[in-house]
Structure 1
Amino acid sequence: MRVKYVLSEVLVGLWRNVTMTIAMIITMAVSLTMLGASGLIYTKVADMKQLYFEKIEVSIFMEKEFTEQQRPEMEAKLDGDPLIRDWQYIDKDQAYKRFQEMFRDSPDLLSVVKAEQLPASYRLKLVNPEEYKAISEQYSTVEGVDQVVDQSRVLDKIFNLFTAGQNIALVAAIAMAIAALLLVANTIQVAAYSKRREVAVMKLVGASNWFIQAPFVLEAVVAGLIGSVVGLIALIGLKQFLFDGALSTLQGLFAPVTWGEVFLTFPVMAGVGGLISAVTAWVTLRFYLRV
């Protein structure tokens, strides 16, 4: 009987303040959508970093005067370096073949560049690609080395942009979460005020604090859970129309967002939405009703 009463009061409370309930659900949905989106962005940037770092090569370009007699000393140094996992030597002829493949659509450029003009190089695979700076410092002063170039310098700029996007999404989610908290608290206050006489009577007849608070808390939790469902629908729309639609041509550059990852965000969104709503409602009642 008590459970039936509590559930009926939850439904009555949601319907009595229907406009504020809808506003609370929408605010919670927007907040949870941004929270879920920022979580997906964090995981995708982490995946992209791992993916690209695994492919990073450090290139040591030798001077044009570098000779075959200097190779043994250089290669012995590379073999003994614990930072290097593997290396490959590219002589001038191999470098010229690669150059021809890269610029096969620019015959004018190919006609003026000869094999002897291109430097020999070593392509290094590192044990930890993030230690490319140590390789640059170590080999840039070695005799016969012209320059040390690594792809991660460009990637660092790209990842800085993604990190900025992560932070913006997270700050926006926090701001919306604060707005949702205030709206939940205000809605619960209005609901409690409208039933203040009923609450006073229940206290007089010995009703427990839990029995009085339960309908208000569950009302907020239901709104939070509905908001999480709306947020999940919004994330599904983002994947369908943005990631798989407008950005589909860039999937070779970006780590794809899978359906599994989208649906795995729902338990987190529902848990956060339900918990925040419940705690906010309980704290509001403690201070407002003094029960």
Structure 2
Amino acid sequence: MRFGFVMGEIGHGLRRNVSMVISVILVTFISLTFVGTASLLQLQIGQMKNYWYDRAQVAVYLCTEVSPGDVCPQGEASEDLRATVEEKLKSPVLKPYIKEYFFENHQQAFDKFQEQFAGNSVAKYVSPNQLNETFWVSLKDPSKSLIITESFSGVAGVEEVRDQRTYLDQIFSILNAASIAAVGIASLMLVSAALLISTTIRLSAFSRRREIGIMRLVGASNFYIQLPFILEGVVAATIGSALAAGAVLSVVQFFVQGYL
């Protein structure tokens, strides 16, 4: 097989079908960029999930003077009720699951509220006693948070028990949906790229049907005839793949490593 002849035919075909070649390059570039970006997004979501889930806490909110009467019939949690909750946290039943906990009083909760809502007109109408005193509980295994939640639900002096993982689940479900959608779009575009490459090869062969007929007459094999057309598609797809790899690397370099 004459290598020079094959390469010459490839170059001739690429020049003759410039518009189709550019289309293949663009579709391959966009589809593979979507695939790479979706893979990076899924990887980043997994890392974020592990990071934040390990730091998720369970908040045990004590009753305040403004708590609903059906939940806190005794009114604001007294010192005795607060001590009872803390003793329960220290009990042999729950202690093996608890890494650490700390108590946040009215004033600390108020200071945090004022910091978070600084500049908001609502902040000036809130007093310390309206905000819950809270036990913030960090677990050795955050997946066992249901044990803490069930242990304090309905306990006298406790208004509500919240697992921060429920908020994280909502956020990560949205991010996962976005990632799956990106993968779906990328898959469709990859199929489109494959079909476009096939169409490009067929059109290139059709445009040179006279030359192909002559080659058949002189005894050229099918492989020898088809190889230049196949390689034209491969070259265009390779260029698109290289551009996609460069785009994904740029995302990693300037966005993931630069900002996250």
What TM-score comes out, normalization by structure 1 length?
A: 0.67
How many residue pairs align between the two structures?
245
User: Which of 168, 175, 182 is the matching residue for 1:155?
Assistant: 168
Q: How do 1:127-206 and structure 2 match up within 5 A?
A: 127-196=140-209, 199=212
CA distance in 2, matches of 1:149, 1:60: 7
Alignment correspondent of 2:256: 257
Alignment correspondent of 1:29: 29
CA distance in 2, matches of 1:133, 1:5: 72
CA distance in 1, matches of 2:210, 2:242: 34
105-114 or 3-12, which moves further after superposition?
105-114
Secondary structure of residue in 1 paired with 2:168: helix
Secondary structure of residue in 2 paired with 1:258: helix
Q: How many Å apart are 1:123 and its aligned residue?
A: 0.9
CA offset digits 1:69-89 (Å, max 9, x no partner): 425531223773544332223
Distance of aligned partners of 1:185 and 1:60 in 2 relative to their CA distance in 1, 3 Å threshold? same
Supply the AA of the counterpart residue of 1:257: V
Question: Structure 2: where are the runs of 5+ without partners?
Answer: 64-76
Percent identical residues = 33
CA distance in 1, matches of 2:181, 2:92: 42
Supply the AA of the counterpart residue of 1:191: S
- Mapped pair 1:230 → 2:229: no
CA distance in 1, matches of 2:249, 2:173: 27
Alignment correspondent of 1:84: 98
> Cα RMSD over matched residues?
3.7
CA distance in 2, matches of 1:33, 1:234: 7
Q: How do 1:44-63 and structure 2 match up within 5 A?
A: 44-63=44-63
Alignment correspondent of 2:70: none
Contact 2:109 2:128 in 1 (8 A): no
Supply the AA of the counterpart residue of 1:258: Q
Distance of aligned partners of 1:137 and 1:2 in 2 relative to their CA distance in 1, 3 Å threshold? farther
Distance of aligned partners of 1:106 and 1:191 in 2 relative to their CA distance in 1, 3 Å threshold? closer
57-66 or 73-82, which moves further after superposition?
73-82
Supply the AA of the counterpart residue of 2:127: V
Supply the AA of the counterpart residue of 2:133: A
Alignment correspondent of 2:38: 38
Q: How many Å apart are 1:25 and its aligned residue?
A: 1.5
Contact 2:58 2:145 in 1 (8 A): yes
Q: How many Å apart are 1:132 and its aligned residue?
A: 3.7
CA distance in 2, matches of 1:103, 1:192: 68
177-186 or 196-205, which moves further after superposition?
196-205
Contact 1:10 1:216 in 2 (8 A): yes
Q: RCO greater where, 1 or 2, for CA within 8 Å and sep 6 or more? A: 2
Q: How many Å apart are 1:10 and its aligned residue?
A: 1.6
Q: How many Å apart are 1:186 and its aligned residue?
A: 0.8
Alignment correspondent of 1:7: 7
Distance of aligned partners of 1:186 and 1:106 in 2 relative to their CA distance in 1, 3 Å threshold? closer
Alignment correspondent of 2:133: 120
CA distance in 2, matches of 1:153, 1:170: 26
CA distance in 2, matches of 1:66, 1:225: 72
Q: Which has the larger radius of gyration?
A: 2
Distance of aligned partners of 1:218 and 1:130 in 2 relative to their CA distance in 1, 3 Å threshold? farther
Contact 1:56 1:151 in 2 (8 A): yes
Contact 1:66 1:144 in 2 (8 A): no
